[in-house]
């Protein structure tokens, strides 16, 4: 199986609800290795670049507000960004995370246990996880410099 790197973001609802440690525990338990971590400011530009492929979706503007912590009072728009590495890391992290829609995410997955849909139809699903090798490479390079990642 291929050794992959994948980007994880603990989203503002995850930070606000004190789920950061749980996310890290679940990823560690999946047998993956953390190779980069930082609290970083999600600028408007970074948020829009990260979610560029979704810019035509009706939920896009809400998603930009959400990832910048505007619904959760996150100071300075800070977020925890992580890179994990391991065999089939992209799929392994997606399995731990669960489906995008928290109502459809399997019980026991992070999103299935802790995600919710707000009355304004905002998906709050605790974490971001890259979805395929091309996305993972693009996203890791967007959030981290090379020298911030353990070789």
| Contacting residues toward ligand IDP, per CB under 6 A | 54, 59, 63, 100, 122-123, 125, 128, 131
Residue 50: active-site member: no
Minimum CB distance to ligand IDP smaller for 55 or for 150? 55
Contact partner at residue 59 from Mg ion, ligand IDP, none, CB < 5 to 8 Å by partner kind = ligand IDP
CB of 85 to ligand IDP, least distance (A): 19
**Min CB(109)–ligand IDP separation in Å:** 11
Q: What is the distance in angstroms between the CA of the first residue and the CA of the last residue of the chain? A: 19
**Candidate segments 55-63, 79-87, 112-120, 126-134, binder of Mg ion by CB under 5 A:** 126-134
Cα gap 80→72, rounded to integer Å: 14
- Is the distance from CB of 149 to CB of 135 less than 8 angstroms? no
Determine contact, residues 136/5, Cβ cutoff 8 Å.
yes
Rule CB under 5 A: say whether 131 interacts with Mg ion: yes
- Exposed e or buried b for every residue in 36-45, given b needs 16+ CB within 10 A? bbeebebeee
Rounded (10°) CA dihedral 52, 56, 78, 122: -150
> How many other C-beta atoms are found inside a 10 Å radius of the C-beta of residue 46?
18
**Smallest distance from Mg ion to CB 114, Å:** 18
State the nearest-atom distance from the C-beta of 110 to ligand IDP, in Å: 11
# residues near Mg ion by CB under 5 A = 1
Kindly tell me which of 88 and 131 has the beta carbon lying closer to Mg ion.
131
Catalytic center residues: 128
Give the binding site for Mg ion (CB under 5 A). 131
């Amino acid at each position: 199986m291929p050794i992959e790197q994948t980007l994880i973001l603990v989203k503002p609802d995850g930070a606000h609800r004190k789920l950061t440690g749980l996310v890290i525990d679940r990823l560690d338990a999946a047998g993956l290795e953390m190779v980069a971590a930082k609290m970083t400011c999600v600028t408007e530009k970074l948020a829009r670049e990260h979610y560029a492929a979704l810019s035509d979706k009706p939920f896009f503007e809400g998603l930009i507000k959400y990832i910048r912590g505007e619904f959760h009072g996150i100071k300075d728009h800070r977020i925890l960004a992580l890179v994990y590495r391991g065999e089939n890391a992209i799929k392994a992290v997606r399995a731990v995370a669960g489906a995008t829609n928290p109502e459809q995410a399997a019980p026991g997955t992070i999103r299935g246990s802790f995600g919710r849909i707000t009355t304004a139809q905002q998906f709050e699903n605790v974490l971001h996880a890259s979805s395929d090798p091309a996305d993972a490479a693009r996203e890791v390079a967007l959030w981290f410099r090379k020298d911030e990642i353990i070789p």
